[in-house]
Structure 1
Amino acid sequence: MSALPTRTLPMGDRAILVEVEGLDAVLALHARLVAEPPPGVIDLVPAARTVLITVDPAVLSLSRARAWVTDAATAASAEQAAAPAEVELDIRYDGADLEDTAELLGMTAAELAGRHAHATWTVAFTGFAPGFGYLVSEDWPFDVPRLATPRTRVPAGAVGVAGVFSGAYPRETPGGWRLLGTTDEPLFDPARPSPALLAPGMRVRFRTLAGEERTLAGRERTLAGEERTLAGEERTLAGGAGALRVEEPGLLATVQDRGRPGSAALGIARSGAMDRRALGAANRLVGNPQGAAAIEITLGGFRAVALADMLFAVTGGGGPLRLAGRDIDPYAAHRWPAGAELEVGWIERGARAILALRGGVEGLLVRGSRATDILSGLGPAPLAAGDLVEVGPVPAAPVPPSPDAAWGAPDGDDLEIDLAPGPRADWFTADARATLFEATWVVSGAADRVGIRLDGPSLARARDDELPSEGMVPGALQVPPSGRPTILGPDAPVTGGYPVIAVVTDAALDALAQARPGSRIRFRHARVRS
């Protein structure tokens, strides 16, 4: 019995990328892997020619994961594929690019709409945004170029084509696909047990609706549960009485916990606190579970007033910290009397501070997490002046004694970051691979929770062909045509089309979270356990 031909590539110290011959093999292998995952598997992300497998190495080593893939490839080649689930999407062919795309392909708009509607589509993989499915079809022979200038706004429900793919936008987002029509189907609803309507391997058919046409610009939808209204000038995250009122959020303040691992196949990023050590430390200081939701403050400038007596701690990046106008220490639990103002001043060392409140921050729960994903819009919105933040019930665990000495803020100005191998290192020249570790890289102004763009020498490619989209992990160093890498953050899309030369180790991600614009980074080779 012959196995599906596979090639296993490294993706950092917690994942492998399995490359196969094409989409049919991807779907067969992914179906087999999903059917019987061993303990320790966190995510399985199919893409155009690969399946990304993310593991907890404390439970499942990378070598055992590779052996599991080998067994699954053998079984997948012998199995008859089960009949896939099917879904019908009602569509109006009223897209802004329908006429131009038809002319580009040498047919009328009616002919193009008919070809699109009569094709049987398969969800190859998801990504770009939660619930966005990349659809392929043997009935669709066209390779359609993307728009030369992407739109800054594509409304939810827009159905478009790009390359060999078709897809429908679950929410308003920028995009460069050519828009053929619109659908009213709720493509992504966080309140559903399976929030994404389209899942890898599913069959999709479009059903043409007759009746009055509408324009894309005339309709806007947002994710179910995401839309929020302002009551006066105040919002309460969980709908009850607030424990504190935000006076100034600073540059960016969001609710974060340990994030949403295990949902990447639905296009949902992990998200969560960038500095997980700081989150755990702050929660320990106030007696919370280590993964309780807290407030992540980027570069400081945060002020809030307590509406009830509370206990809090601030960890992570260091700067002025004042309660009721008096300086206080970080990395210690403090009483916060009702009516007093807490100020987390502009951070001088590092980039991000964590404010933990005893009881944890309450808020919108999506896929088991309260984390704010700034790219997809999942979770609570970033905090704004006037917001009321609620805390949960006081935990049973006591508040531990304060440490004898302050733990100290991280220094984010000069960082040494460990890199594990990436799957596409061979796409770069030997000189580029050496330069990655020899150069001093500088964090650019384009650095946030989605990604950190680095300034430095250009990394030359050994090959220039286009890479089909494949699964990504936080810490992946994607290298765009400019040659300067971007390190993906916790809110980055779960798939991407730029080659990954290396991956920041999981342990080094917390230090990287404290990098700020102007920080200098030197990379070093990590020892990766197989």
Structure 2
Amino acid sequence: MTPQQQASEAAAPAGLNGIRAAGDRAILVELPSLQAVLSLQTQLTAHPQPGQIDVIAAAGTVLITADSPQAIQALAAHVRGLDLEAPVETDSTLVSIDVVYDGEDLDEVAALTGLGREGVVAAHTGQLWTAAFAGFAPGFAYLTGEDSSLEVPRRRSPRTAVPAGAVALGGAYSAVYPRQSPGGWQLIGRTDAAMWDLGRENPALIRPGDTVRFHAVRAKATVTQQLVTQQQKPKPSDAEAEEQATEGLAVRKPGLQSTIQDLGRPGYAALGVSSAGAMDRGALRRANRLVGNPEDAAGIELLFGGLELVALSDQVIAVTGAAVPLTVTRPDDEQAADERRPRATLHPACDAPFALLAGERLTVGTPTAGLRSYVGVRGGLGGSEALGSRSTDTMSGIGPEPLQAGTILTVRPPKPGSVVGHPEISPLPDVSQAIVLRVVPGPRQDWFSAEMLQAFLAQEWTVTPQSNRIGLRLNGQALTRSRDGELASEGTVRGAVQVPPEGQPVLFLSDHPVTGGYPVIAVVVHADLDKAAQLPPGTTVRFAAAAFPAELPETPKETSHA
């Protein structure tokens, strides 16, 4: 435990168990009761402080994130002055949900509780449930009941796929799965209620503070008439779609994984929505500066090259991030070639703006260094927003689908007076040696002995092929915990290094879940997260302790859309 953490524990006022640092831009507030959790969440939501981004409530903690180290220090001081014991009024809506009680685990729950099948249904429908907090997935609300008769353990072996609408019990909570996802809760029924719908003013059917009443209904057969709507009509072929469009860009080849990304949607973690956004935010900002866009404009993030784009109208492009070869070729039809191009093939440089004229094709090759590239387009990519962002979130499914061959990308008009930028240097980590990522102590480093903490910092870890936008999975000498039991789920941050039971760390990245149940041994400082986004499988990583907060450089602030 650091001196700062020890001071936090010693100075904790009544109604507050302690405040732990969770990186250089977040704190984890430990509280003695769920009532205190809801009180703190309600007060910060009703009266947000300068720099405050997210407030993530859990069973006994509240994670607070901010846009800078200075803002999080001020928030910690503010929390110490709040009265968390006084009752707090919250806006509450009664939500009624019809349930068919035929879940796969209903008999097991009946045996575990001793209530029988009918008794489980009667207990579940006979009490009022309160949404204490959200997490795990958008629209997933942790519901607390009025009695403990239905408290059951989670399954010993989680399911790899729980269907959307499954009504479940886990520990002292009940919940409805909003979309198909892995899960270890006991399934007792199912509902047709849409738990998450971005078409509603409030996408989450159940929000923290709401009350829920379940009603038992019989399964009924439904007959749907198949009507051919505009959306159901056969889609045009790639060539037809490209021919019909006259502006923007057409995707000929998407590569391994290409998605639309901006700087994400911070501010919605209380609804179970991670910030997402570009993995290497510095590279996206740089691409936008080069083409004269605001730094938060939407561009393309691609993994390991392989992208081919055709300009349907004249564009100004910049490619940043990984070091990749770029090729611009003129159309196959020489009569269609633009006379402004003296040569049929060009090789623009990365980190500098260049023109892509109508009909020309841009090919992004395989990286010679780095992993992810960013394509900025003057004006920024258009399309619909979801919660204030155009980013694709691979964890929650929010945002546009990954790019496919034939996708037509609209481009917004440039802002008046904007100008293209000068070429910039793109710093990339040298993977010929171990990459050093600086860390500060995690909020749960006391789950590990001093020797294990030293082993975490001393050894080199290898990035595995299982890494993705959710997290960097590492392999090395396994870490063991110094205490038994499991940690209750609590809020997590980008940069958190979680240690699952097998002892191999996972570094959370842009699409990480907003809550997690494994102890966080350390948190990578905000300034080093872009470096982590460029590490291919096989790279070795070493963690180094950073003096907190003196050695932490100032990096761009994160902004909330909420």
Kept after mapping to 2: 8 A contact 1:233/1:386: yes
SS across alignment from 1:290: coil
Work out whether residues 330 and 406 of structure 1, in 8 Å CA contact, stay in contact via their aligned partners in 2.
no
1:473-484 equivalences under 5 Å are 473-484=493-504
Partner of 2:144: 136
Moved more, 77-86 or 486-495: 77-86
Is the aligned partner of 1:445 residue 2:465?
A: yes
Task: Name the structure 2 match of 1:222.
Answer: none
* Aligned-partner Cα distance in 1 for 2:431–2:361: 27
Deviation at 1:394, TM superposition (A): 2.2
Instruction: Figure out how many residues of one structure are paired with residues of the other and give that number.
Output: 514
- Give the secondary-structure state (helix, strand or coil) at the position aligned to 1:467: coil
Distance 1:336 1:47 in 2: 49
Determine helix, strand or coil for the equivalent of 2:148: coil
Q: CA contact under 8 A between 1:287 and 1:397: conserved in structure 2? A: no
How many Å apart are 1:24 and its aligned residue?
2.2
Change over 3 Å in CA distance of 1:454–1:266 after alignment to 2: same
* Deviation sequence 1:183-242 (CA, Å, 0-9, x none): 22221112333221222232211122346279xxx99xxxxxxx99972344989x9765
Identity %: 44
Displacement of 1:104: 3.7
Partners of 2:380 and 2:241 in 1: CA distance: 15
Residue of structure 1 equivalent to 2:193 = 185
Match of 2:320 in 1: 315
Deviations 1:337-385 (A, max 9, x none): 1222111111121110000111111123111000000111100011111
Q: CA deviation at 1:311?
A: 0.8
Match of 2:260 in 1: 255
Q: Is 1:496 the counterpart of 2:516 in the alignment?
A: yes
- What does residue 435 of structure 1 align with? 455
Tell me the CA shift for residue 182 of structure 1: 1.7
Q: SS at 1:25's partner residue?
A: helix
Are 1:159 and 2:162 matched, yes or no?
A: no
* TM-score normalised by length of structure 1: 0.91
- 1:231 corresponds, among 220, 235, 252, to 235
- Residue in 2 that maps onto 1:44: 55
Q: Which amino acid aligns with 1:373?
A: D
Residues 1:520 and 1:445: Cα distance change in structure 2 (over 3 Å) = same
Q: Aligned pair in 2 of structure 1 residues 485, 211: CA closer, same or farther (>3 Å)?
A: closer
* Larger gyration radius, structure 1 or structure 2: 2
1:292 and 2:303 correspond:
no
* Alignment equivalent of 1:353, drawn from 358, 367, 373: 373
Q: Which amino acid aligns with 1:454?
A: L
- The answer (yes or no) to whether the contact 2:438–2:546 under 8 Å persists in 1 is yes
Note if 1:426 corresponds to 2:446: yes
2:75 matches 1:65:
yes
Contact preservation (8 Å) 1:288, 1:397: no
Matched, 1:527 2:547: yes
Q: Does structure 2 conserve the Cα–Cα contact (< 8 Å) formed by 1:240 and 1:390?
A: no
Equivalent residue, structure 2, for 1:173: 181
Amino acid in structure 2 at the alignment position of 1:307: L
CA distance in 2, matches of 1:213, 1:358: 52
Compared CA separation, residues 428 and 210, structure 1 to 2 (3 A): same
Please list, as runs of the form range in 1=range in 2, the aligned pairs for 1:320-359 lying within 5 A after superposition.
320-324=325-329, 325-359=345-379
Alignment pair present for 1:205 and 2:213 = yes
Does the alignment pair 1:93 with 2:114? no
Q: Indicate the SS of the match to 2:54.
A: strand
Equivalence for 1:518:
538
Match of 1:12 in 2: 23
Give the partner amino acid of 2:44: L
SS in 1 for 2:252: strand
Distance 1:174 1:129 in 2: 11
> 2-side partners of 1:313 and 1:64: how far apart?
39
Residue 389 (structure 1) aligned to one of 409, 415, 423? 409
Provide the secondary structure at the position in 1 that maps to 2:53: strand
Cα offset, 1:494, TM superposition: 0.1
Map residues 452-463 of structure 1 onto 2, 5 A cutoff: 452-463=472-483
CA contact (8 A) 1:119 1:140 kept: no
One-letter amino acid of the structure 1 residue matched with residue 154 of structure 2:
R
Q: What is the identity, as a one-letter code, of the residue corresponding to 1:204?
A: V
Distance 1:62 1:184, change over 3 A: same
Pair 1:35-2:46 in alignment? yes
* Whole-Å separation in 1 of the counterparts to 2:71 and 2:549: 8
2:528 paired with 1:508: yes
What is the rounded CA distance, in whole Å, between the counterparts of 2:501 and 2:100 in structure 1? 37
Q: Contact 2:91 / 2:209 at 8 angstroms: preserved in 1?
A: no
Moved more, 7-16 or 332-341: 332-341
Aligned residue identity for 2:528: A
Distance 2:480 2:185 in 1: 29
Aligned to 1:224: none
2: distance between equivalents of 1:287 and 1:318?
A: 21
**CA 1:251–1:363: 2 relative to 1, 3 Å:** same
Residue type at the aligned position of 2:168: G
2:398 corresponds, among 378, 382, 407, to 378
1:188/1:52 Cα in 2 relative to 1: closer, same or farther (>3 Å)? same
The equivalent of 2:111 in structure 1 is 103
Partner of 2:14: 3
Residue 250 of structure 1, CA deviation? 1.2
CA distance in structure 2 between the aligned counterparts of 1:145 and 1:213, rounded to whole angstroms? 33
Contact 1:46 1:470 in 2 (8 A): yes
TM-score by length of 2: 0.86
Cα displacement string for residues 137-188 of structure 1 (whole angstroms, at most 9, x for unaligned residues): 1323333233344333322211111222211011122222222122222211
Describe the SS at the equivalent of 2:466: strand
Instruction: Return the alpha-carbon distance in structure 1 between the equivalents of residues 383 and 520 of structure 2.
Output: 35
Task: State the partner residue of 1:223.
Answer: none
Q: CA deviation at 1:292?
A: 0.2
By how many angstroms is 1:57 displaced?
Answer: 2.2
**Deviating more after overlay: 341-350 vs 488-497:** 341-350
CA shift in 2, pair 1:517/1:211, >3 Å = closer
Aligned partners of 1:487, 1:309: CA distance in 2, in Å? 40
After alignment, is 9-18 or 151-160 more displaced? 151-160
Does the residue aligned with 1:78 lie in a helix, a strand or coil?
coil
Distance 1:115 1:262, change over 3 A: same
Q: Among 167, 181, 194, which residue is 2:202 paired with?
A: 194
Aligned residue type for 1:518: G
Amino acid at match of 1:442: T
Q: CA RMSD in A?
A: 2.4
Distance in 1 separating the partners of 2:219 and 2:456: 58
Q: Distance in 1 between matches of 2:66 and 2:289?
A: 26
Q: Indicate which of 249, 252, 272 corresponds to 1:267.
A: 272
SS at match of 1:445: coil
CA deviation string 1:389-416 (max 9, x = no partner): 111112223333533x754555455421
